[in-house]
Amino acid sequence: MKNLIQYAPCPQCGQSAAKKVSYTWWGGAVGPSMFTHVKCQSCGTQYNGKTGQSNQQNILIYFLVSMVISFCLCGGLVALNIILNNN
């Protein structure tokens, strides 16, 4: 017995045969599960399985936020290095 989780129908073709995406280039393993990122098995469109809408905006925000966080972390390390070197 297999229990299929039902997702919202595909915004592109209307099929509800979607499969969860477990890993993406933009969000690793955390991002897609945060946004219920699913892929339509019929046409390959990736979208939000909860709302049935495109995840493009979420991806962009997630991508920008993770960029800013990693930038701040790198900047913080560089600043720490400068402070330590000045002593």
Is 54 among the residues that bind Zn ion (CB under 5 A)?
no
Q: In angstroms, rounded to a whole number, what is the distance separating the alpha carbons of residues 48 and 9?
A: 10
Q: Which helix (H) or strand (E) holds 38?
A: strand 37-40
> Least separation, in Å, of the C-beta of 15 and Zn ion?
5
Is 43 among the residues that bind Zn ion (CB under 5 A)?
yes
By beta-carbon proximity to Zn ion, the closer residue of 33 and 42 is 42
Q: In angstroms, rounded to a whole number, what is the distance separating the alpha carbons of residues 11 and 64?
A: 25
> Least separation, in Å, of the C-beta of 9 and Zn ion?
8
By beta-carbon proximity to Zn ion, the closer residue of 12 and 66 is 12
Count of H-run helices and E-run strands, the chain? 2, 3
By beta-carbon proximity to Zn ion, the closer residue of 52 and 66 is 52
**N-term to C-term CA, the chain:** 66
Residues that bind Zn ion in the complex, under the rule CB under 5 A: 10, 12-13, 15, 40, 42-43, 45
